[in-house]
Chain A
Amino acid sequence: DAMVIQNPRYQVTQFGKPVTLSCSQTLNHNVMYWYQQKSSQAPKLLFHYYDKDFNNEADTPDNFQSRRPNTSFCFLDIRSPGLGDAAMYLCATSGKRGTGELFFGEGSRLTVL
């Protein structure tokens, strides 16, 4: 059974049209991560939550925002997607902060036209 579920799996948007990607988890984990992965590159950490404590990476563009209304759900909002934002967006959870034991969803692939 899937424990980290991302929706939608595929999202097509137009340049500048806001997009929201969602992530839900049934693991009751404290920590949730959002990574961006472009073709043939490693996942790049955008931000993470430890409970409601939000941690933004210094090089994450302001165009990217996140919300975590409760333990189970986390959202990634891209306010004005550009062509360079086309990527796979990966959500991951962890029961302990920084342990390296991450549980990933299948990802949401974003296409920007």
Chain B
Amino acid sequence: LAKTTQPVSMDSYEGQEVNITCSHNNIATNDYITWYQQFPSQGPRFIIQGYKTKVTNEVASLFIPADRKSSTLSLPRVSLSDTAVYYCLVGDRISGNTGKLIFGQGTTLQVKP
């Protein structure tokens, strides 16, 4: 299973763009990269998922280089409500595999006024 490594914490200010990078050096060919957001006392919430290059949705962008050994979650113009813990997961979409999805340590993002 690919192990993920993220910065423990990051600080930002309202209105800034925030980029959180996740390393997954042992990512396998079939693995997809998924990012989650978690607020205190709530379950994690799906943000975005990608396999390679760039994916964008209404809340974030995900950049994945050609070697796929890392990925970067980009949050445009953060607000105070984006203060949360962000996790990246690496998982295999091919049915028949173990289905294990292991969380890394996560990145605590603190957005300041």
Q: Once bound together, how far apart are the Cα atoms of A96 and B98, in whole Å?
A: 11
Q: Once bound together, how far apart are the Cα atoms of A101 and B41, in whole Å?
A: 20
Q: Does A77 contact B (CB under 8 A)?
A: no
Contact in complex: B97, A45 (CB < 8 Å)? no
Contact in complex: B43, A107 (CB < 8 Å)? yes
Contact in complex: B106, A42 (CB < 8 Å)? yes
Q: How large is the interface on A (under 10, 10 to 19, 20 to 34, 35 or more residues)?
A: 20 to 34
Contact in complex: A101, B94 (CB < 8 Å)? no
Known: A98-B92, A98-B93. A104 touches B101 (CB 8 A): no
Contact in complex: A107, B34 (CB < 8 Å)? no
Q: List B contacts of A107 (CB < 8 A).
A: 41-43
Q: List B contacts of A92 (CB < 8 A).
A: 43-44
B interface, CB within 8 angstroms of A: 32-34, 36, 41-46, 49, 87, 89-106
A interface, CB within 8 angstroms of B: 4, 31, 33, 35, 42-45, 48, 50, 55, 57, 88, 90, 92, 94, 96-107, 109
